[in-house]
Amino acid sequence: MKGTLSAQLIRKLILVVLAYAIVQLLISVNIINDYLQATLTTICINIILAVSLNLITGFTGQFSLGHAGFMSIGAYTCALIILKNPTTYNFLLGTLLGALLAALVGFLVGLPTLRLRGDYLAIATLGMAEIIKIMFINMDKITNGPRGLSGIPRFVNWTWLFIFTVGTVLLIRNFLKSSHGRACIAIREDEIAAETMGINITWYKVLAFVIGAFCAGIAGALYASYFYFIKPDIFGFLKSVDILVMVVLGGMGSISGSILAAILLAVISTLLQSFSEIRMILYALILIIIMIFRPQGLLGSREISLSAFNRLGKFFAFEKEAK
Amino acid sequence: MPLLKVHKLTKSFGGLTAVLNVAMELKQGELVGLIGPNGAGKTTVFNLLTGVYVPTSGSIILDKGDAQQELQGLKPHRICKAGVARTFQNIRLFKDLTVFDNVRIAMHKNVQYGLLSSFLHLPSYHREEKRISEATMELLKIFNLDGKKDEYAKNLPYGEQRHLEIARALATSPSLLLLDEPAAGMNPAETAQLTELIKWIREKFNLTILLIEHDMSLVMKICERIYVLDYGILIAEGTPDEIRSNKRVIEAYLGEDVGDV
Ligand SMILES: Nc1ncnc2c1ncn2[C@@H]1O[C@H](COP(=O)(O)OP(=O)(O)OP(=O)(O)O)[C@@H](O)[C@H]1O
Ligand SMILES: [Mg+2]
């Protein structure tokens, strides 16, 4: 048992390293050019955003429309730090500080608002994100107001993207496979039953918000230090909806679903870059179609796992033999 | 000192007083029934004992010998930690989770690893997860559910859902178990089997049990004492024989068969 377990682990590790190396190679021989790299970056950032919102909304069952607010805190914090002192060390420090600040705000907002349920909570989180946005607009001296910050030095490369994306996804996945994560899932299923079974529901709701906000802060920092430019408008209501769309599209309560959706939507919107109006119409269309045919999202609450691929492999091998 | 001492427990919902000045004492190891006509306030008493409702007035004291604790006004998860577990009249399983996870989640209060370990899956995580899984399987075996551990709770037949709820309550390792109509919807054979099971788990887990039930055959057979509630007020208390012949109980149940069991 133990032997096979570590063998599995090693196989996974090899796959992860391989994925990193292949992309790195493609970048160095310029098959993945600057344009594709931007798409790659968007995908990674969206994966972090979608998976972390899924923790809050899909797994813990707390409807949130404020994820872009948490993201903006990470973006501004990191941007301000590296604008002043552009070193890799400061980029990492800025990312960490941005994530921590976002988590702190998640905590402060979470405590009072998590007594609310469903629509009310959604409205409260929406309000929170708008307040954060307005603060950035009004702190003119520091944030340059609505014009935003430009010329942010770029420290984000494939290596950092990979580390942060795989890191956050792994941490959230591990959390969800623990008793603490299962406590969050129990809250989604039935709050009264959960708390009667010994789960401190307020604590776990706030915790989900704090972890989710922390990761969104990281995503914001990566965004700022890749795309050179941020302004409050980028992190508005529409961005929060964008993230929610990925979560719903992939499946509430499915990490692999969120990853799949993040990739899919990034690819679609890159393909449609030149007509951005149609992009939003397409979004709406895709959502409506999925709501009709797969109300539970692409993957529902299931996960794609390595063993699923193995099974698939065996299945095809069997098919061949049969022929 | 009794294990549970309820004193002048009262709950009003606006103008309606659902429970008024209820007093109860449960000794360690007792199996006690709580009966009464529909709407008498039985479930409300359970909700008060488990913190789902905050009492309007009165006190609830749990005394496990080494420590005495006042439960009124505590949050449900605290009361669970103090050692009170329950099932629900309208089954409240985690429907879209597996049978296994339903029970495993209820082990939460005894899990010995922190957040760091849950993020990084440190050795303490693996050690504890192994322990919880084994304990979960053991409980499922008792209720004959081990073969269905990977099924969704919602797909179980009704009787097995009730069993799963009891298993889940036991997973919190309680001293006091509250069962709200455990035999509701079961046929006589299933009820007889459940009766044996309740007796057996009381011995095995050293439990004190308070049980709400409309099925008099079950109540009269296994309860050592019975409390009778009517319109929120305790109208009688005694052994099954005493309750059967109690005038006020017969009046409260007018039209229902108490005497001929
Ligand atoms: N949350 C609530 N708000 C208002 N009234 C309530 C609430 N909960 C219970 N009641 C009322 O309190 C009274 C007692 O209800 P309770 O559910 O405790 O009865 P019961 O004895 O369990 O009945 P049954 O045998 O039908 O389960 C009823 O009149 C009910 O309508
Ligand atoms: Mg009831």
Instruction: Find out whether A48 and A164 touch, Cβ atoms under 8 Å.
Output: yes
Cα–ligand 1 centroid distance for B212 (angstroms):
13
Instruction: Find out whether A184 and A191 touch, Cβ atoms under 8 Å.
Output: no
Residues in A closer than 8 angstroms to B81, CB to CB, are: 198
Ligand nearest, relative to CA of residue B229: 1
Q: Is the pLDDT of residue B18 over 60?
A: yes
Structure confidence at residue B144 (pLDDT): 93
Give the separation between CA B30 and CA B28, rounded to whole angstroms. 6
| Partner residue facing A189 (CB), from B96, B106, B107 | B96
Instruction: Find out whether B161 and B93 touch, Cβ atoms under 8 Å.
Output: yes
Question: Do B166 and B188 belong to one domain?
Answer: no
> Do B118 and A301 make contact, defined as CB atoms within 8 angstroms?
no
> Is the Cβ atom of B136 under 6 angstroms away from ligand 1?
no
Structure confidence at residue A311 (pLDDT): 60
The whole-number average pLDDT for the span B37-53 is 95
Question: Do B151 and B179 belong to one domain?
Answer: no
Give the separation between CA A156 and CA A219, rounded to whole angstroms. 11
| Domain A35-236, classified CATH 1.10.3470.10, yes or no | yes
Q: Residue by residue, what is the 3-state secondary structure of A146-200?
A: HHCECCCCCCCCHHHHHHHHHHHHHHHHHHHCCHHHHHHHHHHHCHHHHHHCCCC
At residue A148, φ and ψ (nearest 5 deg) are: 80, -175
Which residue in A178, A190, A196, A214 has the most chain B C-beta atoms within 10 A of its own C-beta, making it the best mutation to test that interface? A196
> Do A182 and B172 make contact, defined as CB atoms within 8 angstroms?
no
Which CATH number does the domain housing residue B30 bear?
3.40.50.300
Give the separation between CA B110 and CA B246, rounded to whole angstroms. 44
Tokens encoding B134 = 């084994």
**Residue B123 identity:** P
Q: Could you say which of B127, B147, B171 is where a domain stops? A: B171
What is chain A's pLDDT, residue by residue, as a tens digit (323 residues)?
444 567 778 888 888 889 888 988 988 888 888 888 888 999 999 999 999 999 999 999 998 999 999 999 999 999 999 999 999 999 999 999 999 999 999 999 888 777 777 788 888 889 999 999 999 999 988 889 889 999 999 999 999 999 999 999 999 999 999 999 999 999 999 999 999 999 999 999 999 999 999 999 999 999 999 999 999 999 999 899 989 989 998 999 999 999 999 998 888 777 777 776 776 787 678 778 877 888 888 888 788 766 665 665 566 565 555 54
Structure confidence at residue A32 (pLDDT): 82
Question: Do B247 and B260 belong to one domain?
Answer: yes
Angle at B105 between CA B149 and CA B62, to 5 degrees: 125
Which residue in B46, B48, B52, B119 has the most chain A C-beta atoms within 10 A of its own C-beta, making it the best mutation to test that interface? B119
Shortest CA distance to A192 belongs to which of B186, B52, B6, B85?
B52
Residue B90 resides in a domain = no
Q: What is the tally of structural domains in chain B?
A: 2
Residue B92 CA, distance from chain mean position = 13
A81-85, long-range: CB < 8 A, 24+ apart: A82/A152, A82/A153, A82/A155, A82/A225, A83/A149, A83/A151, A83/A152, A83/A153
Structure confidence at residue B113 (pLDDT): 93
Tokens encoding B90 = 């309208």
Residue B91 resides in a domain = no
Q: How many A×B Cβ pairs under 8 Å?
A: 98
Give the separation between CA A129 and CA A237, rounded to whole angstroms. 8
Question: Do B77 and B179 belong to one domain?
Answer: yes
**pLDDT grade, residue B150 (50/70/90)?**
very high
Q: Give, using CA atoms, the residue closest to atom 17 of ligand 1.
A: B43
Question: Do B63 and B4 belong to one domain?
Answer: yes
A199 close to B (CB below 8 A): yes
> Is the Cβ atom of B42 under 6 angstroms away from ligand 1?
yes
Structure confidence at residue B173 (pLDDT): 95
Question: Do B21 and B52 belong to one domain?
Answer: yes
Structure confidence at residue A323 (pLDDT): 46
Q: Give, using CA atoms, the residue closest to atom 11 of ligand 1.
A: B18
Enter the ipTM: 0.92
Give the separation between CA A121 and CA A111, rounded to whole angstroms. 12
Angle between helices A67-84 and A88-113 (to 10 degrees): 150
Residue B88 resides in a domain = no
Q: What is the pLDDT of residues B228-261, one digit of tens each?
A: 999 999 999 999 999 988 888 888 876 555 554 4
Give the separation between CA A180 and CA B111, rounded to whole angstroms. 9
Alpha-carbon torsion (A188, A192, A198, A203), positive or negative: positive
Cα–ligand 1 centroid distance for B16 (angstroms):
10
> Is the Cβ atom of B16 under 6 angstroms away from ligand 1?
yes
Q: Could you say which of B171, B191, B220 is where a domain stops? A: B171
Give the separation between CA B83 and CA B62, rounded to whole angstroms. 9
Q: Kindly identify which residue of chain A lies nearest to residue B48, measuring between CA atoms.
A: A196
Tell me whether residue A192 is exposed, middle or buried, using C-beta atoms within 10 angstroms of its C-beta: 0 to 12, 13 to 18, 19 or more. middle
Which residue in A179, A199, A201, A303 has the most chain B C-beta atoms within 10 A of its own C-beta, making it the best mutation to test that interface? A179
| Beta-bridge partner residues of B6 | B24, B60
Give the separation between CA B109 and CA A12, rounded to whole angstroms. 32
Residue B197 resides in a domain = yes
Residues in A closer than 8 angstroms to B85, CB to CB, are: 196-197
Task: Give the distance from residue B69's alpha carbon to the nearest chain A alpha carbon, in angstroms.
Answer: 16
A198 close to B (CB below 8 A): yes
Residues of B with CB under 8 A from a CB of A: 50-52, 75-77, 80-81, 85-86, 88, 92-97, 101, 104-109, 111, 113, 115, 117-121, 125, 128-129, 132, 168-169, 171-172
Task: Give the distance from residue A175's alpha carbon to the nearest chain B alpha carbon, in angstroms.
Answer: 5
Q: What global pTM score does this model have? A: 0.91
Q: Kindly identify which residue of chain A lies nearest to residue B172, measuring between CA atoms.
A: A197
Tokens encoding B239 = 């052994």
Structure confidence at residue B261 (pLDDT): 43
Residue B220 resides in a domain = yes
> Do B94 and A179 make contact, defined as CB atoms within 8 angstroms?
no
Structure confidence at residue A314 (pLDDT): 62
Give the separation between CA B112 and CA A127, rounded to whole angstroms. 38
Least confident piece of the model among B64-68, B103-107, B136-140, B166-170: B64-68
Tokens encoding A64 = 């949130």
Domain that holds residue B245: 1-83+174-261
**pLDDT grade, residue B81 (50/70/90)?**
very high
Question: Do B124 and B104 belong to one domain?
Answer: yes
Question: Do B53 and B180 belong to one domain?
Answer: yes
| Beta-bridge partner residues of B234 | B229
Query: How does A251-288 read in b/e, with b if 16+ C-beta sit within 10 Å?
Result: bbbbbbbbbbbbbbbbeebbebeeeeeebeebbeebee
Residue B89 resides in a domain = no
Q: Which three-class secondary structure state does DSSP give residue A230?
A: strand
> Is the Cβ atom of B84 under 6 angstroms away from ligand 1?
no
The set of residues, in sequence order, having a beta carbon less than 8 Å from that of A111 and lying 6+ positions away, is A206
Structure confidence at residue A306 (pLDDT): 61
Structure confidence at residue A135 (pLDDT): 93
- The count of other CB atoms within 10 Å of the CB of residue B143 is 21
Instruction: Find out whether B246 and B253 touch, Cβ atoms under 8 Å.
Output: no
**Residue B31 identity:** L
Q: Could you say which of B150, B171, B192 is where a domain stops? A: B171
Question: Do B159 and B190 belong to one domain?
Answer: no
Instruction: Find out whether A95 and A221 touch, Cβ atoms under 8 Å.
Output: yes
Residues around ligand 2, an ion, CB closer than 5 A: B 43, 89
Q: Residue by residue, what is the 3-state secondary structure of chain B?
A: CCCEEEEEEEEEECCEEEEEEEEEEECCCCEEEEECCCCCCHHHHHHHHCCCCCCCEEEEEEECCCCEEECCCCCHHHHHHHCEEECCCCCCCCCCCEHHHHHHHCCHHHCCCCHHHHHHCCHHHHHHHHHHHHHHHHHHHHCCCHHHCCCEHHHCCHHHHHHHHHHHHHCCCCCEEEEECCCCCCCHHHHHHHHHHHHHHHHHHCCEEEEECCCHHHHHHHCCEEEEEECCEEEEEECHHHHHCCHHHHHHCCCCCCCCC
Q: What is the pLDDT of residues B189-202, one digit of tens each?
A: 999 999 999 999 99
The set of residues, in sequence order, having a beta carbon less than 8 Å from that of A212 and lying 6+ positions away, is A52, A53, A55, A56, A64, A67, A70, A106
